[in-house]
Amino acid sequence: MRRRTVLPVITTSLLLAPLLVACGGESGEKAGSKAGATEITVLAAASLTDVFTAAGAAYEKEHSGTKVTFSFNGSQELASQVRQGVPADALVTADTKTMDGLKENTGEPVVIAKNRLTIATAQGNPAKIGGLKDLSRSGLKVVLAAPEVPVGRYSQKILDGAGVKVKPVSQEPNVRAVLSKVELGEADAGLVYVTDATAARGKVATVAVPDAQNAVASYPAAVLDDSKHGEEASDFVKWLASPKAQKLLRDAGFQAP
What CATH number is associated with residue 76? 3.40.190.10
* pTM to 2 decimal places: 0.82
Domain range spanning residue 235? 29-114+218-251
Residues 125 and 173 in one domain: yes
Is residue 122 a contact partner of residue 137, using CB atoms and an 8 Å limit? no
Residue among 102, 97, 63 at smallest CA distance from 86: 102
According to the model, what pLDDT value does residue 36 have?
A: 78
Judgement on whether residues 41 and 102 belong to the same structural domain of the protein: yes
Mean pLDDT per 10-residue interval, the chain, length 257 residues: 42 37 34 69 97 97 96 96 97 97 97 98 96 96 96 97 96 96 97 95 96 97 98 98 97 95
**Do residues 198 and 230 share a domain?**
no
Q: Does 179 share its domain with 239?
A: no
What pLDDT, on a 0 to 100 scale, did the predictor assign at position 22?
32
- Give the per-residue pLDDT at 138: 93
pLDDT at 34: 56
d(C-alpha 131, C-alpha 207), whole Å: 7
Name the helix (H) or strand (E) containing 189. strand 189-193
177 assigned to some structural domain: yes
Q: Are residues 99 and 162 part of one domain?
A: no
Assigned domain for 10 exists = no
Q: Are residues 47 and 170 in the same domain?
A: no
Do 90 and 153 lie in a common domain? no
DSSP state of 207: E
Domain count, the chain: 2
Predicted pLDDT at 25? 34
| Any domain includes 71 | yes
Give the per-residue pLDDT at 237. Answer: 98
Supply the pLDDT for residue 21: 33
Looking at residue 35, its pLDDT comes to: 63
R_g of the chain, CA atoms, integer Å: 24
Within a domain: 133: yes
Query: 124 with 192, same domain?
Result: yes
One domain, residues 171 and 183: yes
